[in-house]
Amino acid sequence: MPSRAKIQNPKSKISPPKKAYARAGVDVDLGNRLKGGLQRALAGTHNAQVLGKVGGFGGLFRADFRGLREPVLVSSIDGVGTKLKLAFALNQHGTIGQDLVNHCVNDIAVLGARPLFFLDYLGTGKLEPPVFKQILAGLAKACRAAGCALVGGETAQMPGLYQENEYDLAGCIVGVVDKKAIIDGARIRPGDAVLGLPAHGLHTNGYSLARAIFFDKMQLPLDARLPDLKKSLGEELLRVHPNYQPALAAARDALGPGIFKALAHITGGGLVDNLPRVLPADCDAIIDLASWTPPAIFQLLARHGEVARDEMYQVFNMGIGMALVVAEKDAARVLAAPALRGVRRIGRIERGAGRTRLAA
């Protein structure tokens, strides 16, 4: 093989022969070059608890549980589903990394946990440097905002497994909570109030149905402008899934550690399936559908997709990204909490069988 000097000689028109693995579709050298830039991107998410170097066989995190009497580790793993199809179509990949981190942070925040560290998995047929860099930048941005160390991950090149210019992305998060501060819904009682924090669009769920309605049935282009939408259709569908953990933590600090009896991240399954995950077996959540107006994107989906009301609330978040169960005596304080911008009363707890009931 020619020496590096010959490869880099601008006067030479002879290209070095591709390695056999690269000819088969896996460019190890390209992967190594891209990973060589990881240190700068990840460094901004690291603190003194992160040990070792980027690119090792495992991420090292020195646990510091001072201030916690009985620290409990909380973990979660997830992806962003077919929202990826929008990123492919728009060739915008930075926000997908933010979606992934924020979704995972929210999933452990409902238990009262704060994030410690995060790892990602990227699988693709062919590694595209600009796409890789956008995804990594989004992951790092969201981790920095969450106070969460991005300690490593895996990038897999698997030609023949993915369609051209497509990839899959998943993430794993680990956090910690003091055992006495775990929020598990055990204190929920009839008469408690159900509050909701506003969503920013579809977040990361319901995209298969949304795509079927907007693009297959209605034949709309990504740059379509629809009534009541401030952004183009593509931009609206790619809005970032927010991280609710800092606001929830700030409210707990201000109002007391026991202020929330339960929290439910409204993801796949909507209010119908996610609230029962935190309800006692003898309590129902009664959701007052008149207490808020779902954003225009959901009204368009329901009307043009001819989707029944109950199914809409089982597939989409309908404008509520996080549900909070609090004692009725505490509801006014929570509703007035500066950290919880946009919080509203959306229902109540009654005796029942551990279900969500939608009240018109």
194 within 8 A of 349, measured Cβ to Cβ: yes
Query: Which pLDDT belongs to residue 93?
Result: 96
pLDDT-flagged residues of the chain (< 50): 1-12
* Alpha-carbon gap, residue 121 to 154, rounded angstroms: 5
E strands present in the chain: 50-51, 60-61, 71-79, 114-124, 149-157, 167-178, 193-198, 262-265, 283-288, 320-326, 344-351, 356-359
pLDDT of 227 reads 84
Assess whether the region 23-181 and the region 193-359 belong to the same CATH fold. Answer: no
Residue with tokens 């008469």: 191
Among candidate residues 266, 108, 269, the one with its CA nearest the CA of residue 194: 266
Q: What is the dihedral of CA 51, 54, 56, 57, to 10 degrees?
A: 90
CATH number belonging to domain 193-359: 3.90.650.10
Q: What's the pLDDT at 6?
A: 32
CA distances from 261 to 275, 279, 289, 297 (A): 12, 10, 22, 31
Longest pairwise C-alpha distance within the chain: 81
- Burial (CB count <10 Å: 0-12, 13-18, 19+), residue 83: buried
Buried b (16+ CB within 10 A) or exposed e, 47-68: eeebeeebeeeebebeeeeeee
Each domain of the chain, given as residue ranges in start order, spans 23-181, 193-359
pLDDT value at position 18?
A: 75
Q: What is the pLDDT of residue 323?
A: 98
pLDDT of residue 45: 76
Task: Please give the order of strands across the beta sheet that includes 149-157.
Answer: 71-79, 167-178, 114-124, 149-157
pLDDT at site 3: 33
- Identify which of 246, 251, 270 has the alpha carbon closest to the alpha carbon of residue 323: 270
Q: What local confidence, expressed as pLDDT, does residue 300 receive? A: 97
Task: Scan for tokens 């896996």, then name that residue.
Answer: 26
Topology adopted by domain 23-181: 60s Ribosomal Protein L30; Chain: A; (3.30.1330)
Three-state secondary-structure class, residue 30:
helix
3-state class (DSSP) for residue 24: coil
Burial label for 224, CB within 10 Å (0-12, 13-18, 19+), is middle
Give the per-residue pLDDT at 60: 84
With tokens 């609230």, the residue in question is 275
The answer to whether 146 and 101 are in contact (CB under 8 A) is yes
